[in-house]
Amino acid sequence: MGVAGTGKTTVGPLLAELLGVPYAEGDDFHPAANIAKMTAGTPLTDEDRWPWLDAIGEWARTRDGLGGVVSSSALKRGYRDRLRSAAPGLVFVHLTGDRALIEERMSHRQGHFMPTALLDSQFATLQPLQPDEAGVAVDVTGTPADIARRAAEALRPATDPAATGPAPAGTEG
């Protein structure tokens, strides 16, 4: 989880590989209307997000006991609660970073529908993980491989079946 440009799409597959689980790209769950709105620079409303979050939650539910990594901004507690209602075992990885670094990285992306102009609305919407939410915060400085390694290490207690029981339904990256 995290604002646009934190590396969810880049770090997610690397994290999944380190954990030995499949990866699902959260953007692939967006209806076409959502992509069109974001491409036009229009922030999504909660009403726009509900079907998207439900689809991600369903994917995570199918991974219950198997593990998986799926990317999603999941910026608000309510969005994460909705995902957890479908897949209660979700463990979130909140990719965090300095706004200037994230904007710099976004400015070099090619072929992505999310314009840098929406970054301020993403930061304004962001509600970081709360202490009662299963998850970890991971700083996005360094290479994608560095970030993925830090995330895997931070998740180790949550993803070690010997330590915590069954594998989480999905890991939100």
pLDDT tens per residue, range 18-48: 999 999 999 899 999 999 998 887 878 999 9
Element (H, E) at 171: strand 171-172
User: Could you tell me the pLDDT band of residue 101, with boundaries at 50, 70 and 90?
Assistant: confident
Segment among 30-39, 59-68, 75-84 with least mean pLDDT = 30-39
Specify the long-range contacts of residues 145-151, CB closer than 8 Å, at least 24 apart: 145/14, 147/7, 147/11, 147/14, 147/95, 148/11, 148/14, 148/15, 148/17, 148/18, 149/18, 151/11, 151/15, 151/93, 151/95
Instruction: Please give the share of the chain, as a percent, with pLDDT higher than 70.
Output: 84
pLDDT (0 to 100) of residue 171 = 53
